[in-house]
Amino acid sequence: MHKLYIASYDIADNKRLRQVLNVVKDYATGGQYSCFECFLKQAQHHSLLYRVGRIIDPLDDHFFLIAVTHTHKTLVLGAAEKPNDLDYLMVL
């Protein structure tokens, strides 16, 4: 079963920033700048954290992976789109 997460980061070094962006895009279904929606299975959740953890500098960088629960309504302001909880996920 896939769960919706929000992956967000603030990376101090441009090289590490590009590396983290490329990793997160492997898991993301959408997003803006340094904030992405990711529908992840448990193994993907662990894999994403492992891969990002190997790149970031824990003293200078920040990475957040926040689970979005359906107990509260998702609010969106501005030009962003509300994340869709897909009935299925196709990976090509």
Task: Pick the range with the lowest mean pLDDT from 22-26, 48-52, 81-85.
Answer: 81-85
Q: Which has the closest alpha carbon to 32: 61, 57, 7, 63? A: 7
Q: Which residue has the higher pLDDT, 53 or 86?
A: 53
- Please check the confidence at residue 58 and state whether its pLDDT lies above 50: yes
DSSP collapsed to 3 states, the chain: CCEEEEEEEECCCHHHHHHHHHHHHHHCCEEECCEEEEEECHHHHHHHHHHHHCCCCCCCCEEEEEECCCCCCCCCCCCCCCCCCCCCCCCC
Decide which of 3.30.70.250, 3.40.50.150, 3.30.70.240, 1.10.1060.10 is the CATH code for 3-67: 3.30.70.240
